[in-house]
Structure formats: structure tokens, C-alpha cells
Amino acid sequence: MAHIKLEEGLPGIRGLLAFRPETAGPLSALADVLLHADNTLSRADRELIAAYVSALNGCTYCRESHAAIAACHLGGDEAAVAAVIRDPERAGVTPKLKALLGIAARVQQDGRRVGEADVARARAEGATDVEIHDTVLIAAAFCLFNRYVDGLATWTPRDPAGYRERAAYVAGQGYAGVLRTVAGAPGADRA
């Protein structure tokens, strides 16, 4: 049970966005820019970073949500997403994404842990300054989002089908679309 009274049926951050529309707009806009807007990093890669950081933070709702969205962008390949979350260095992703996930893990621990060697590795694998910047910002933002969701003890659905259904909507509409339909989009009652 959430620590504050949230609209019933809206899990995780969705309930919090509905509760406080004044903060919903900026948070959704940030998520949209980082995860959905055009970028040289694929939407799948950016969602994998979000899911990985959420897993490191132990935030089940965000991990499951962003893992499902990443899988959607990967044609439904949930096994590939699970492999990244379990062990990015052994997962079947590009060396560049492995380096960026390494940076994200350092940010999750403490931003000051990102070192010259981490950045040099990412650059050697072809990461641009914008991609390194965005990786750090995604990781930092998901530390905030994860603590927001868990700090208010929001509802976390257990049914993976709800996450998958909602993922298809978010993958297509982005996070600005989610804000417009917090309560009325497909899967609103589940994920």
C-alpha cells in the first residue's frame, strides 16, 4: 500500500504522475527526451540502460516497465533484455553498449565513480560525447525515478502481461503520450 493516497489502478510512477500533475509534465518530458526522442543511441539501447539501472537499484516496477519497452523495441526479445540485466558484459549487445552500461553502473553507485578509463573505453567503442552524456543522465534520472516510485511505496503489478501491453503503447507513443493518457491508455489497469 502506497504511503500516500493515489488513484487506484495506476501502478508505479503512473500513479504519482496522476497525483501531482505539476511535476508530471517536466518528468515525462525528461523521460521522453532521454528515452524516446531521436538520438544516435537506439530507443532499445536507452531503454536497456533504464532497465539495467532500475535493476541495480532494486526497483521492480521500473525494471519490469523498461525491460518490457526495450523488448518491444527489440521485436519481443525478452531473453536479450534479461541477459543485459543479468550480466551486460556477457550479453549479446555491441561493445559500445557494454561500455555505456558500465558507465551507467558507475553512476548508479556514485557519479564520482565514473573515471577516465570508463569514458575512454566508451569512446574507443565509438560512443560520442552526446551518447556518453545521455547515458550518465539516463542513469542519474533513473536513480531519481526509482527512488520516487519506491520511496512512496507505489503499487507494483506482478503480471508480466500488463507490462508488455503498456510497453507497446509507450514504445509507439513515447512518454509525452503517456502523460496525456495516464489513466486512459491501453493497460491502464495493469501496468
Q: What is the reported pLDDT for 176?
A: 83
Instruction: Give, in words, the CATH class of 41-180.
Output: mainly alpha
- Distance, CA of 62 to CA of 47 (rounded, Å): 10
Q: What is the reported pLDDT for 47?
A: 98
Q: What is the reported pLDDT for 178?
A: 67
Give the residue carrying C-alpha cell 503520450: 177
Quick one: which of 3, 4, 16, 33 has its CA closest to 146? 16
- Phi, psi of 150, deg, nearest 5: -80, -30
Quick one: which of 35, 52, 57, 36 has its CA closest to 143? 57
Please report, for residues 8, 58, 117, 134, the alpha-carbon distance to residue 72 in angstroms, rounded to integers and kept in the order given: 26, 22, 33, 21
pLDDT by 10-residue block (mean), the chain, 191 residues: 94 95 94 97 98 98 98 98 98 98 98 98 98 98 98 96 93 81 43 45
